Amino acid sequence: MSVSARMMIVLTVVGAFSGLSLVYMDKYAEPYIALHKKEAIREAIGKVLPDVAGAEEVHRDEIVIYRALDSSGGLVGYAFLAEGPGYQGTIQLMVGVAPDLRRLTGMEVLESVETPGLGAKITESSFKEQFRGLEVVPAVGYVKAGRKPAPNEITAITGATISSTSVVRIVNEGLKEVRRVIDFRAAEPVPLKEGGTN
């Protein structure tokens, strides 16, 4: 057998073994990754909505909204995942909004690869705190540093306006989808109780 034939056999065996190992590791790690993701979402909901005891998932099309409840079952607000392009990559947020959908209760950055020292400041509490209590009607806006923001505006990070405006855009687009889902749920007919009428 020639040297090149032996090399081909060895490379084929090594490649097949590596491929099977990766498939096995992926299947093995999958439930742990899902569990970690679920825990990260639960933790983020607690950060963006105060006094949450539990959350129900509301599904519509491919959108998932978390209907957050207090310990007595009362509605605290809604939390939702929203993502979109930033300056360097995808930004993923968890956003909390009051039950009337007119005021934010908080915003948490779950994923970001923005420029360190500039756009990465969207993960700092000084930026995120601007979203707590922020009015969202007619929409969230921004101003540059040095100007006084309106009740529905945040101050953009100096030197990272693109990252700041990306977060504002992601929040506004997410809110649009949440309003659509919540309005749809409100319009759904209430099912009749068995053996009688409502």
SS3 (DSSP) at 53: coil
- What distance in Å separates the CA atoms of residue 143 and residue 121, rounded to the nearest whole number? 16
- What distance in Å separates the CA atoms of residue 50 and residue 70, rounded to the nearest whole number? 9
- What distance in Å separates the CA atoms of residue 92 and residue 111, rounded to the nearest whole number? 5
- What's residue 38's pLDDT? 76
Question: Residue 141 pLDDT > 80, yes or no?
Answer: yes
Give 187's pLDDT tier (boundaries 50, 70, 90): low
Quickly list DSSP for 86-152: -SSSEEEEEEEE-TTSSBEEEEEEEE--PPTTTGGGGGSHHHHGGGTT-B-SS--EEE-TTSPPPTT
Q: What is the pLDDT of residues 5-20, one digit of tens each?
A: 788 887 888 888 888 7
Q: Which range, 13-17, 61-65, 158-162, 188-192, has the best average confidence (pLDDT)? A: 158-162
- Predicted TM-score of the model (pTM): 0.75
Give 198's pLDDT tier (boundaries 50, 70, 90): very low
In the chain, % of residues over pLDDT 90:
45
